[in-house]
Homo-oligomer: A and B are copies of this chain.
Amino acid sequence: MRLSRFHLHTTKETPADAELASHRLMLRAGMIRKLAAGLYTWSPLGLRVLRKVEAVVREEMDRAGAIELQLPTIQPKELWEETGRWEKFGGQLLKIRDRKEAEYCYSPTAEEAVTDFARQELGSYKQLPVNFYQIHTKFRDEIRPRFGVMRAREFLMKDAYSFHVSDADLAREYENMKAAYTRVFTRLGLRFRAVQADSGAIGGDASQEFHVLADSGEDALAFSTGSDYAANVEAAQAAEPPPRPAAAEALRKVDTPTQKTCEDVAALMGIALQRTVKSVAVMGTGGFVLALVRGDHTVNEIKLGKVAGLADYRPATEAEIAQHLGSEPGFLGPVGPKAPIKVVADREVAAMADFVVGANERGFHLAGVNWGRDLPEPDLVADIRNVVEGDRAADGGEIRLARGIEVGHVFQLGRKYSEAMGFTVLDETGKAAVPAMGCYGIGVSRIVAAAIEQNHDEAGIVWPVPMAPWAVAVCVINPKKDAAVDAAAEALLADLQAAGLDAVLDDRGLRPGAMFADIELIGIPHRVVVSERGLAAGTFEYRARTATEAESLDRAQLLEKLRG
């Protein structure tokens, strides 16, 4: 490949709306161009990277025994109604009417379509297990598309769906997919972690996310220093707190005229924030609920939503609060409500003694509060908070937080879709059985952006070799001036290609500074310069993208270095 016959178009400007480094750098490198909000053209340069990622994903899916097919991007409403998702999926589902007014959507995922295929194709347990996958365009009508291809509306996704006669076999394939994903991200040269995800109604070990680690990541992840434990903060659990100490203080009313937050109250009283309790008023199916977390903690909405009766909870209104507690926000607490309420305490709160809560009276808090003495034991004790840095982990280690970009998700779906769509196979005894399903996604186009978030510097992108548009750039100084230089560059290109290296010749004839800036910006891992002076000395100037200095190498040294 010669850059003079390729289309490379780098720019210096950074668009104002590009907040993330990956977005800016993909635009500056000319990898993508915006067509409309959340819709990007992949330029020849960008597509080379995307295809490399796609190829690794495909190879590892094939190696894992999954079988590729392709489902239509446009799918009929009737199918989505079978599972109730036509309504439930929400605004991200792009709904379409055709010329005959029939309704369709642009597939954001394909559980329904693949289950429809499966129920036409699979009739016997003998045909299971099977894992179908596709690598195909998806669309999610993001309300605020941004960050370039990180959160585009149209994107490339690998989605796989497996079918099993038993939960045990589903669990086996789930592990098989986790291993395949680990191979994918390892081969791509990315620093990543598999973390426990919120597993919704299924519980247990049934859902894990794969995150590329990057400070700019949208997700907070929790790791333990004591083991492999890692989880999305949405799902991360700390260790059980130590047992509740005995009450030592008497209940007393504290004057807090303008102190409405735990922070302000603790500061006024000169006590640690950890001694205070935050009261969050919500409405569940059973009525008014007061959720309590320690003053330095925050409520984890997903965990709270798993409490019985709170699956679809909403914040209580001021009127509802006044009705149940007789007070206004800022001074709420679980002691002496006006009307019956339910109290859900975080495990940490349930283990506290002598704590501080709102007095349900404007301008006052209560201190020295103790369970069983000043108020009844909580109606329910549960883990309803977000973990924080320094929490003790269940394995005895300490919780550390990091940020990540979700690029993969594996999920044991169970029988949710197969049951809703009436998909059965005959089991060994000849009876109809509903297969268990797993689903496994990889955000192929998102990986490109995530890799850049993780790997860039002031000069531009720093690709891991497996994702780079080319592994090596052979830069010719003053091409078409000196036939010997051109010939040496061509010969080197041929040598590199013969050695299995994906090399490109920069024969565009730019000034060296501009040429080198381009090659750095687009993140080529290895740069080799062919010049008249080097040729006279029998050497090439070599510089790794990550190195600060160039070195002079002869052909043999260079090939040895690049073959790695």
Contact = CB atoms under 8 A, between A and B. Distances in A.
29 contacts: A7-B121, A30-B121, A33-B117, A33-B120, A35-B71, A35-B76, A35-B113, A35-B116, A36-B78, A36-B102, A36-B104, A37-B102, A39-B74, A41-B70, A43-B69, A43-B121, A44-B68, A44-B132, A47-B70, A72-B154, A73-B139, A73-B154, A74-B106, A74-B153, A74-B154, A96-B96, A98-B141, A98-B153, A106-B106
Contact of A76 (B36, B68, B70): B36
B65 A41 contact: no
A143 B99 contact: yes
Contact of A132 (B7, B30, B35): B7
Interface string A52-84: 000000000000010111111111101100000
B39 A68 contact: no
Contacts of A102: 36-37
Interface string A458-483: 00000000000000000000000000
Number of copies: 2
Nearest to A121: B9
A5 B66 CA distance: 9
A42 B70 contact: yes
Nearest to A40: B72
Contacts of A91: 99
B33 A121 contact: yes
Interface in A417-448: none
Shortest beta-carbon contacts, A-B, top 9: A36-B76, A42-B70, A39-B72, A44-B67, A91-B99, A9-B121, A99-B141, A72-B154, A41-B71
A5 B131 CA distance: 10
A341 interface: no
Given A132-B7, A139-B74, A154-B74, A117 B41 contact: yes
A94 interface: yes
A443 B471 CA distance: 34
A508 B361 CA distance: 77
Contacts of A43: 69, 117, 121
A17 to B, nearest CB: 16
Chain A interface size, as a band, is 35 or more
A521 to B, nearest CB: 16
Given A72-B154, A73-B154, A106-B106, 13 more contacts: A7-B121, A7-B130, A7-B132, A35-B75, A35-B79, A35-B113, A36-B104, A41-B113, A42-B70, A44-B69, A44-B132, A47-B70, A96-B96
Interface of A: 5-7, 9, 30, 33, 35-37, 39-44, 46-47, 50, 65, 67-76, 78-79, 91, 94, 96, 98-99, 102, 104, 106, 113, 116-117, 120-121, 127, 130, 132, 136-137, 139, 141, 143, 153-154
Contact of A72 (B35, B46, B47, B70): B35
Contacts of A127: 7
A130 B72 CA distance: 32
A127 B30 CA distance: 15
A479 to B, nearest CB: 15
Contacts of A74: 39, 94, 106, 139, 153-154
A65 B6 CA distance: 9
Nearest to A130: B7
Contact of A75 (B9, B36, B50, B99): B36
A50 B134 CA distance: 14
Contacts of A139: 73-74
A463 to B, nearest CB: 19
Contacts of A113: 35, 41
A212 to B, nearest CB: 22
Contacts of A9: 121
B154 A6 contact: no
